[in-house]
Amino acid sequence: MTYCLNLDCPRDKRQNPPGTKYCLNCGSKLLLKDLYAATEPLRDGGFGRTFRAVNHGKFEELCVIKQLSPPLEFQRKPTHFKKYVRLFEQEARRLYELKHPQIPQLISYFEEDGRLYLVQEFIDGNNLKDELEKYGAYSETKTRELLLDLLPVLNFVHERNVIHRDIKPENVIRRNRDRKFVLIDFGVSKQVVAEAPTKAGTKLGTPGYAALEQRHGRAVPASDLYSLGVTCIRLLTSVMPYLDIYGDIHDDLYDPLEGRWLWREALPKGTKISQDLSQILDKLIQEYVKDRYKSATEVLEVIKPPIVVVPGLVNLQQATVLSPSLPTQPVTGTPPVAVNLESEKGIDYSHLERLLAAKNWRGADEETSVKMLEAMEQVSTGYLSEEDIRKFPVKDLETIDQLWVRYSHRRFGFSVQKNLWVKLGGKPGVYDATVWEKFGDRVGWRVNGEWVYYTELNFTSKAMPGHLPGGTVFGWEGGVLCGVLGLGGIWFLLSRRDL
């Protein structure tokens, strides 16, 4: 269906058959710029409406249309509206320059029929509020994952003098393709409203998430950190602000009389939060800017997980990993020497190292896939061809493998997988169905003769040797292949002599 964007068209009559150029009810033109067609509304907001859409100029690619609604301050006088358009264009250009894999790319911005529009990349995934309702409250591990994934994005944004202004669970999407967190709904309209001729009655940010200074029109980078901190405690507790029948905001997570958050008291029974994470969250959500972290980098420095040594192995000269039925490589009490994070393509592997050091095996598995795609500039395609694998830079392959080997105590890594592949009779670059099935059985990718789904992989330290990385090889998540090499394509990678 094609959805009419005319605000005067009755809501129940805005749907039109596919291919319709003009609304059958009001006669309005349906294709913006003769390219973009809205298909269904996603949500309404104080600054406009958002629609799922199709880009007919690019192979029917999905996109998002944002129709902005100028505040009354700008509508009252033509000169004010012209200023709004000028500011809109300035802010849209700034958003266009925010080229980051965890920020939706701006495709186009324009004015048409007296209305302003943004067209952005469509992110396929669920926002964190929907995820919370589906799976329940966050754990400490998931909260750390969120912080470690989004803080570098905020650092990138703030370094370019942009403030998001509206961080909340609804504005963070976990992308299905790589499970990364994507920050959406950047405040182009919010930035413009901040320059309104008169700001009386204008609310910037979302009640229950906006920092004190932001509520008074003085947003700074630390305001985004505050909102991120509040997002974390709401995900940990499942307690959201709500409106009563009179339209007043209520928040059971905050005590306005004492001026403090009550998030510890609201944690689900049995939830344990370490002291260091508690202190980090407390500092993020301080009322006054002077008491908060000043930058995302400052938070990353304190949340960086330490190197974890497996208990019981520290004083041993040599030990054997669990899983006595399988031959394994020896594990020493001290991990191998530190890994130099070298890259021939300028790829930053520090986040992968942090995830591995924290034993966040799933996060590290997904990060490995992302970094391999980035190294070969194949993020948009979502997979590596045989040619890509043969040309994959040696330094990058060694860095990824050595990180996995180091932090898993030689249990996981491409080189571990290659040794098993060769022992089972696998030959470099040659597909052998029998060996492939034996290999799947040996590393735990097959159970009772059936290949497992990605969601069924064992993301723990007790997984079979060679079980991880797994997402680089195959990753059926909800029926979508999200692996880098494609199902069964590991024999190309394991033919590399550098492993």
Neighbours of 247 (CB within 10 A): 6
**pLDDT tens digit string along 298-307?**
999 898 553 3
Confirm whether 2-121 and 125-303 share one CATH topology. no
**pLDDT tens digit string along 139-185?**
988 898 899 999 999 999 999 888 999 999 999 999 988 788 999 98
Q: What is the band of 72 on the pLDDT scale with cuts at 50, 70, 90? A: low
**pLDDT tens digit string along 370-388?**
899 899 988 776 777 777 8
Task: Identify the CATH number of the domain defined by range 2-121.
Answer: 3.30.200.20
Rg (CA), the chain: 25
Domain residue ranges in the chain: 2-121, 125-303, 350-493
pLDDT in the model for residue 9: 93
Domain 125-303 has CATH 2.70.98.10: no
Query: Is 166 among the residues known to form the active site?
Result: yes
Q: Which DSSP string do the residues of 80-104 spell out, in sequence order? A: HHHHHHHHHHHHHHHHHT---TTSP
Rounded to whole angstroms, the Cα distance separating 253 from 241 reads: 8
- Considering only CA atoms, which of 440, 461, 468, 454 is closest in space to residue 323? 461
Catalytic member of 149, 166, 178, 401:
166
Q: CA neighbours within 13 Å on the CB side: how many for 210?
A: 19
Reported as type and span, the H/E element at residue 56 is none
The pLDDT of 219-244, averaged and rounded, is 94
**pTM for this entry:** 0.61
Reported as type and span, the H/E element at residue 169 is none
Under 8 Å between Cβ of 203 and 46: yes
